[in-house]
Amino acid sequence: MPVTPPDFYALCHAVMEGDASPGEVARFRALVASDPACLEIYRQQMEIDVLLTGTCGGGASKRHIQAAQTRRPRVWTLWKRVAAAAALLVGAGLWYGVPRPASPVPRPTSPVMNSPVTMVEWKGAWGLEMPPELPGRIRLARGQVKVRLPSGVELSLLGPLELEAEERGMEVRLVSGRLVAWVPARAGGFTVRAPGLTAWDIGTVFSVAADAEGSSLFVFKGSVQALDGEGAGVDICGAGEGVRAMGDRTPFKVAVEGETGERLFKAVRGYAAIAEPQKALDAARRIEELWVAKYVPEEAERARETARRQAALRNAPRPISFTKTAWVRPSASQQKKEAASMSTTRAAAVLAAAVIMGAKSSPALSDPVFVNTSPSQNRRWEAVCTNTVPLRWEWNTNAANARLEIVGMNAAFATNFTAATSNYLWQAFPSATPLVEDLYELTLTFKAGGGAVVGAVTSRLAVVKDTFGTAGVISTPEGAPWPNVRENVLIPYDAGWTEATSGAVTSRIVISRAGITLTNALSNPAGYYGWRLKRSDWGYGTFNLALTFPGTVTNAWDATLTRLPEGFIFSVK
Amino acid sequence: MEQGAQQQAFVEELANAQFDLMAYISMMVGNKADARDVLQETNRMLWAKASDYDFARPFLPWARAFAHYEALRFRKTRQRDRLVFTDGVFETLSEDYLAAPEPVDRRLGWLDECVDRLADTQKELIRAKYFERLSVLQITARLGCSPASVVSLLYRIRQALARCIEGHRKREEASCL
C-alpha cells in the first residue's frame, strides 16, 4: 500500500492555487492516480476550498463583505445572495456569457513561460523581458512582478528595472531599478551586486535600489553583509539598517532613526516587506533620507536640490492639447489601409498601429498605419498583424528632446528621446495575444533644450482581445452588440451604426447603478470608451448603460450589464 | 411560456446553478483559475443552447452535462504534461461527484455550522484567505509565520471542515433510517 508523502498537502495546495510547476503537476498527477488516499485528500481539500471561496464572496468587494459583517456576524451566504440578485435580471434582447480573464493575475505566456526564471506574481507590469536561459537579463519597463530564481530566491521587481542573473540564480547584478529579495535558508549567500555596492545575504529579506546617483541597501529581516564596489566590507546590516553608496565616496551605513523612522519601519518589517514591496522600498528610502538629514547634512542638501529639480519638471507647463484626436481601430478586412495620409502639419505626428485580426502568434511586423485625424473619416477599421506597434513622428523644429507617455487602464509607460530618434517600437503587451483589453492614450511631448514644452501630439489605441485570432468584429448597424466585456470594459461606439446618427460629432455614454450615475461626454462620434471597473467602487450588481449621439435622434442604445463575482452576463437591446 | 418569461426563467436557473457548476468544474480541472475559464465557456454554451432546454426537466443535470463536456474540451486543449489528472482519475472524480447524495446547498449549510466551531485563530486565517483573498505571502506577513506554516494550517482547517461536514452527512443518514 503506498504511503502518502508528508509534503502532499503542500503539493495539493500548489496545484489548487495554480502555482505548481510542470514537475510538481506531474508528481501530483502520479500520486493521485496511484494512491487513493492522495485522491481523497485532494477531493476533500478542493471541495472545502470551493465551498469557502463561494460562501465567502467569490470575489465580492471588501465593502460588501464589511457591510455584510455589520449586519450579521456570519457572512457565509453572501455569494448565494449575489447569485439570487443576479437571477432577477432579464434583458429584452441578446445575452452573452462573456469570459473573464484567465486569472485575476494575468498569467504571461511565452517567452515568460519558457524562462528558467519563474513568474510568481504580476501587478500591472509592462514591458517585461525574461531570459530564455541563465545567465541572462531581466528587464521590466513598468509595474511590479515577483519572480523566483532557480536557487529559490524570490525577487519582487519594480520597474523600470534591468537585472542580470547568473546561471544558478545565486547572484544578480542590478543595473538599475529597485527590488526586494526574500532568500530562503537553502539559498544563503545569495548576492546582489549594484553600482558601488554588494549585498551578501545571511538569510533574510532585504531591498536594493540603484539609480543614476548610486545604490542603496536596506534590511527588513535577518542580516546582510554589505561590501563596497571594490569588495571591501562595509558592515553587517541587521533589520532596520542599510547602506547607501554614492559615486566615488565611501558607502555609509544608515539606520532607523527617531519616532518617524520607527513608525515607517514597523509597517514593513519582516515578511511584510515581501507582501508590499513598493511600500517597503518607499519606507526604506524615507528612512535613509531621515538618517542622512540628521547625520550627513551636506548630502541632504544635495538630495533636496534633486527633489527641487524634479518638482520643477513636474510643474512645467502642461502639454499643448492636440485637438484632432487620432484613432486607430480594428479592421474587418485585414490589411485594409487608410488611403489618406496625415495631411495637416499639426497632425503629422504620432503614427500608431493597432493590433488586430488574424494576428495569432505571427511575429511579423506590420507596416506603420497612417492615422487619419479627420473626424469625418476616421471611422474605418485599421489592421496590423503584431503586438509590436511602430510609432513614428516628425520633430518639432524647436525641440531638443521628447517624452513619450503611454497610459492605459491597466498599465502605464514613459520613455524619453533625443532628436536623433524619430521612431519607436512599442510592445503593447508581452504575449502574442493580449491578456486583457485596454485603451491607451499616447502623448509625445516635445521640449526645448531648457526643458520648456514646445509642442505635443497625442493618439489613442484600443486593444480588443477577441479581434485576435479568427473572431470577427461586428461593425454593421444591425449586428452591433457591445461585446468583449471584461473587468475593465472597452465599449465601442460609432455614430455610423445608423444613418440617423451618422452626422453626429460627439457621443455620450451614461452609466448608472443604484444611485450612482456617471455621464461621459465624448468629443468624437466613434471610438472606444474605457470603463474602469477593476479596483473601482462600482462593485457588483446591475448596471444600465445608455449611448446617445447628441444633436441627432433622441433614441439611445440601452444595455443592461450584470456583474457577477465570477464574470459577466451582458444584455443589449 | 412566452419568450420573455422563458428567458427570465432560464437566466434564473443559470444564475442559481453557477455555484454548483463552479464546484464541479473546479474538482474536475484541479484549480480555480482554469475552472473559472471553463465555467465561462460552459455559460456561453448553455446560453447558446437555451432554446433546447426543456423546462419540465431539472436544470442542473442538464447544465452539468455541458460543464462535463467543457471540462473534457479543456483537457484536449491543454498539453498532456500539464494535465492535473489522468483520464481514469478524471472519470472517477466525475462519477463520484455526480453520485453525491446531497445538493451543494446542503453542504453549504453544514459548512456554515462547521466554520462556527473553528477556533478564533482558524477563523482569522479563513477570513484572510477567503474573505480578503490574501495570498499566502500576505498572510505570512500578517501572522508572522512562515509560508509553509500557513499552507499547512490551511490544509488542516480544510481537513477539519471536511470531517465536520462528513459528520453532518452521517448523522442525517442515521436519522433517516
ipTM of the complex: 0.92
Q: Does residue A561 carry a pLDDT above 50?
A: yes
The domain spanning residue A337 has which CATH number? 2.60.40.10
Pick the CATH number of B3-98 from 1.20.120, 1.10.1740, 1.10.8, 1.10.20: 1.10.1740
The rounded distance, in Å, linking the Cα atoms of B127 and B121 is 10
Q: Which of A467, A502, A532 is the last residue of a domain?
A: A467
Residues A243 and A277 in one domain: yes
CB count in 10 Å sphere of residue A426: 20
Instruction: Look at A193-207, A295-309, B19-33 and tell me which has the smallest mean pLDDT.
Output: A295-309
Distances in whole angstroms, Cα of residue A445 to Cα of each of A312, A317, A354, A390, A425: 16, 11, 21, 17, 17
According to the model, what pLDDT value does residue A124 have? Answer: 66
Contact A89 B11 (CB under 8 A): yes
A232 touches chain B (CB under 8 A): no
Residues A206 and A250 in one domain: yes
According to the model, what pLDDT value does residue A301 have? Answer: 63
Would residue A26 count as lying in a domain?
Answer: yes
B173 touches chain A (CB under 8 A): no
Closest by Cβ to A87, choosing from B16, B83, B151: B16
Contact A275 B138 (CB under 8 A): yes
Q: Does residue A504 carry a pLDDT above 50?
A: yes
Residues A421 and A519 in one domain: no
* pLDDT tens track for A101-113: 333 333 333 334 4
Contact A87 B15 (CB under 8 A): yes
Distances in whole angstroms, Cα of residue A346 to Cα of each of A184, A251, A318, A386, A416: 57, 51, 17, 28, 21
Q: Which residues, 6 or more positions from A134, have their beta carbon under 8 angstroms from its beta carbon?
A: A116, A117, A150, A165, A166, A167, A168, A169
Chain A closest-CA separation from residue B27 CA (Å): 6
**Number of domains comprising chain A:** 4
Contact A98 B40 (CB under 8 A): yes
Chain A closest-CA separation from residue B132 CA (Å): 7
Q: Where in chain B is the domain with CATH 1.10.10.10?
A: 104-176
Q: How much is the average pLDDT of B112-139?
A: 84
Are A147 and A137 within 8 A, CB to CB? no
Residues A425 and A521 in one domain: no
- Of all residues in chain B, the one with the smallest CA distance to A34 is B89
According to the model, what pLDDT value does residue A280 have? Answer: 93
Residues A377 and A431 in one domain: yes
Would residue A541 count as lying in a domain?
Answer: yes
Q: How much is the average pLDDT of A328-354?
A: 27
The rounded distance, in Å, linking the Cα atoms of A175 and A459 is 32
User: Half-sphere exposure (CA, 13 Å, Cβ side) for A94?
Assistant: 14
- Of all residues in chain B, the one with the smallest CA distance to A88 is B12
- Own/partner contacts of A314-318, CB < 8 Å, gap of 24 or more, are A316/A451, A316/A452, A316/A453, A317/A452, A317/A453, A318/A453
Residues A461 and A499 in one domain: no
Domain, as residue range, for A5:
1-55
Q: Which residues on A lie below 8 Å from B23 (Cβ)? A: 47, 50-51, 54
Among B142, B150, B151, the strongest candidate for a mutation testing the A interface, having the largest count of A CBs within 10 A, is B151
Residues A341 and A307 in one domain: no
Residues A279 and A361 in one domain: no
Closest by Cβ to B152, choosing from A9, A54, A91: A9
Would residue A482 count as lying in a domain?
Answer: no
Instruction: Look at A52-56, A204-208, A356-360, A541-545 and tell me which has the smallest mean pLDDT.
Output: A356-360
User: Which pTM does this prediction carry?
Assistant: 0.39
Q: Where in chain B is the domain with CATH 1.10.1740?
A: 3-98
A99 touches chain B (CB under 8 A): yes
CATH architecture under which domain B104-176 falls: Orthogonal Bundle (1.10)
Band of the pLDDT at A386, cuts 50, 70, 90? Answer: low
Q: Which residues on B lie below 8 Å from A54 (Cβ)? A: 19, 22-23, 108
B100 touches chain A (CB under 8 A): no
Q: Which residues on B lie below 8 Å from A29 (Cβ)? A: 83-86, 89
A37 touches chain B (CB under 8 A): no
- Of all residues in chain B, the one with the smallest CA distance to A92 is B4
The set of cell numbers assigned to B107 is 453542504
Residues A25 and A138 in one domain: no
Q: How much is the average pLDDT of A70-89?
A: 27
Residues A227 and A117 in one domain: yes
The rounded distance, in Å, linking the Cα atoms of A446 and A402 is 4
B51 touches chain A (CB under 8 A): no
A54 touches chain B (CB under 8 A): yes
